[in-house]
Structure 1
Amino acid sequence: MLLHAPLTQEHIDYLRKKGILHPDESVRSSRKAGEGNMNVTLAVSTEKRTIILKQSRPYVAKYPEVPAPSERTGIEYSFYQYMATQPEVAHYSPRVFAFDRDSWLLALEFVEKGVDYLCIYHHPDQFTEALGDDLLRYLKGLHQVTAQTFPENRAMRTLNHQHIFLLPFQENNGFDLNGIQPGLEQLSLKIKTNGDLIGKVRQLGKRYLSPGSKLIHGDFYPGSWLSSPGGLKIIDTEFAFVGDPEFDLGVMLAHLYLARVPDVRIKDLRERYPLNEALLAAFTGTEILRRLFGLAQLPLVLSLEEKEKLANQAIQLILHEAF
């Protein structure tokens, strides 16, 4: 059963049959919820409540030409189940109401007045000291979760590996970078023709695919952070797996660089969560480069000169020392 907005009577009957909607609930409205890349996400309102329905397809919702494993909503469900048992960090996750494996459909709490933090690319001052504290508190708590039985999530990691560590560094990869910003394709040759860099990134990619020791979010960037009256919520955990905590923190720091958050703030956050410095730097640099030159573009307000400066900084982070 593939859902779309507005829900049809067939959809509503299915949701009742699966216990996602109560027998006496009437759907008053259904609409697309947010601009997520991976999945079809709907906000469904009844006379009693509003819920989020998140469904995966065998492809990326925003890029139907890109295949993706349907079981990713099952990974997200497993992640929230683990987090619900952790008193220190459970409140950061939305509540789970139901999961239907037959249609890879996840029913979640609707976060009232929840707004993501994509605004920081335009307004870096929105990355407050309190938000930084909250994000570090979440990561430190998450990375203490014992999750030896968490799914390997190999298929999603393979997809992510391709788009982080391989495609952005390949010439003729099919990405229309000049269509995003004139001159961006020429600038990308700075990384696509750097043999030392490519070798280091390939090595890092193998590390990403190897077994790790800590449960990690796997896509810890501003689109996964929600501001709400009830506090910070962390969503979109379908890339979660047991890996290196440096990956989560590195992704976070990379997006602060891309948002032009002052270096002194970034340095402070890095020092307050001491991890393997070389590994952290390499993951940070790689995330910067894949967001500048990869398929998953961001709403950045950077000139070509600013992107070149960031690319040079990212290359230095990756090549600085062995991890």
Structure 2
Amino acid sequence: MTDAATDAGQPAAPLLTPGTVVAFLRRRGVIDEATPTVRELSGGVSCVVLRVDAGERSVVVKQALPRLRVQAEWSATRRRTLSEAAALTVYHDITPDRVPGVVDVDETSMALVMEAAPLGVANWKSMLMSGPDAAAGDVPELLGRTLGRWHRHTRGDLQLLSRFQDDEAFEQLRVAPFHREVRRLHPSVADALDACVDDLTTARECLVHGDFSPKNVLVGAGLCWVVDAEVAKAGAPVFDVAFMVAHLMLKYVRAGRAAVFRTAAGRFDAAYREAAGVAEPPPRLGWHVAALLLARIDGMSPVDYLNPAQAGQVRRAALRVLDGSDVTVADVWDALAEEDR
């Protein structure tokens, strides 16, 4: 994929590889170590992700792909790298202990260089997949407080939010493959899905991360970092809250309805609302959670860890709560639990 093109259709710089990234970093003045080590990181569905350890400096280089590494034809603007760098900078200013620092951004190659986490940390998703006990620690509260602070500090800041008005990446990587795709497949719940899409495409309340999920939380060595903000935009805070809760629900189903996941989601929500300074959940939170559950079963990016029976249970529960009046998150949890009876 070295002949990737820019969004304007002009030739772009080649995608970085383990063999070229060191020279790139030297040209950018990031490293001068004679013999750095390079490792390609897993999970690079939408980006090239390379870790470079050079003496006392360790960085991660992330470069947006023009076409995602999935079976379906799925393209997205490479300029999302610039939005991610800007969002991480904002988040680092608010919570410097929860986000890696941005080291460099190259607009020509659409490459972001950021601090690397210490070796040995794990993403929270892998920990949750290994056993439900990983949901019982303090990570849910840490994440709730972090997200709440981000939303509170950016809420209504028109100068800051003016830098995040481009919805292209969010539409390409969230709304179209999730909500619009499941609306096509399930027209019976179109009214609820349309209401969710309207929230996500019209609101400009605060800076929304857009991928606030366990796979983007790094835990270990006294660290809890949130990464991967490539679809960040000015938007509706309900999306970030719903995204985390929906992912905990999917892990709940996979783990045979382990109650610790529902408890963790409640702890996350309580910590979020306290830090965000809001007394009530975001409007239509239950519908947003159900829409995302359905999207991760029947959208363009289904989860790969549920068996067919579990996927069917999630689908039926989501469709049931989306077919009617607005629901609470508790109603969604109850619908998932009832599917196992």
Deviations 1:201-256 (A, max 9, x none): 12311221113211121111111111121321000001111212111111111111
Deviations 1:174-218 (A, max 9, x none): xxxxxxxxxxxxxxxxxx2x52x1232123112211132111211
Deviations 1:129-163 (A, max 9, x none): 41111111111111112232332231112112101
Q: Cα–Cα, structure 1 residues 278 and 14, in superposed 2: closer, same or farther, change >3 Å?
A: closer
Look up the match of 1:183: none
CA distance, structure 2, for counterparts of residue 275 and residue 227 of structure 1: 29
Look up the match of 1:116: 123
Paired residues, number: 294
CA shift for structure 1 position 31: 2.0
CA distance, structure 1, for counterparts of residue 34 and residue 215 of structure 2: 31
1:56 matched to 2:64? The reply is yes
Match of 1:148, SS? helix
Look up the match of 1:295: 300
CA distance, structure 1, for counterparts of residue 226 and residue 71 of structure 2: 23
- 8 A contact 2:16–2:63 mirrored in 1: no
- 8 A contact 1:284–1:317 mirrored in 2: no
Q: Which residues in structure 2 correspond to 1:90-101 (within 5 Å)?
A: 90-101=96-107
Look up the match of 1:228: 220
CA shift for structure 1 position 314: 2.0
1:104 matched to 2:116? The reply is no
1:205 matched to 2:211? The reply is no
CA shift for structure 1 position 271: 5.0
CA distance, structure 2, for counterparts of residue 218 and residue 56 of structure 1: 16
CA distance, structure 2, for counterparts of residue 95 and residue 44 of structure 1: 15
Q: Which residues in structure 2 correspond to 1:215-294 (within 5 Å)?
A: 215-260=207-252, 261-262=258-259, 263-271=262-270, 273=273, 274-276=279-281, 278-294=283-299
- 8 A contact 1:165–1:201 mirrored in 2: yes
Look up the match of 2:332: none
- 8 A contact 1:122–1:259 mirrored in 2: no
CA distance, structure 2, for counterparts of residue 13 and residue 271 of structure 1: 47
Look up the match of 1:309: 313
- 8 A contact 2:40–2:49 mirrored in 1: yes
Look up the match of 1:17: 27
Which structure 1 residue ranges, 5 or more long, are not aligned? Answer: 172-191
CA shift for structure 1 position 59: 2.1
CA shift for structure 1 position 106: 0.7
From 73, 89, 92, the counterpart of 1:84: 92
Deviations 1:85-113 (A, max 9, x none): 22xx2210001111111111111111012
- 8 A contact 2:72–2:300 mirrored in 1: no
- 8 A contact 1:201–1:286 mirrored in 2: yes
Following superposition, which runs of at least 4 residues in structure 1 exceed 4 angstroms of deviation? 61-64
Q: Cα–Cα, structure 1 residues 53 and 62, in superposed 2: closer, same or farther, change >3 Å?
A: farther
Tell me which moved more, 99-108 or 276-285: 276-285
Match of 2:153, SS? coil
CA distance, structure 2, for counterparts of residue 45 and residue 91 of structure 1: 21
- 8 A contact 1:118–1:222 mirrored in 2: yes
- 8 A contact 1:56–1:104 mirrored in 2: yes
TM-score (ref. length: structure 2): 0.78
TM-score (ref. length: structure 1): 0.82
CA distance, structure 1, for counterparts of residue 228 and residue 267 of structure 2: 26
Which structure 2 residue ranges, 5 or more long, are not aligned? Answer: 1-12, 155-159, 253-257, 274-278, 328-341
CA shift for structure 1 position 7: 1.7
Query: RMSD of the alignment, in Å?
Result: 2.3
Q: Cα–Cα, structure 1 residues 49 and 60, in superposed 2: closer, same or farther, change >3 Å?
A: same
CA distance, structure 2, for counterparts of residue 275 and residue 57 of structure 1: 39
CA shift for structure 1 position 30: 1.6
Identity of aligned residues (%): 20
Q: Cα–Cα, structure 1 residues 148 and 49, in superposed 2: closer, same or farther, change >3 Å?
A: closer
What letter corresponds to residue 290 of structure 1 in structure 2?
Answer: A
- 8 A contact 1:282–1:318 mirrored in 2: yes
Look up the match of 2:322: 318
- 8 A contact 1:278–1:321 mirrored in 2: no
Look up the match of 1:41: 49
CA distance, structure 1, for counterparts of residue 235 and residue 51 of structure 2: 32
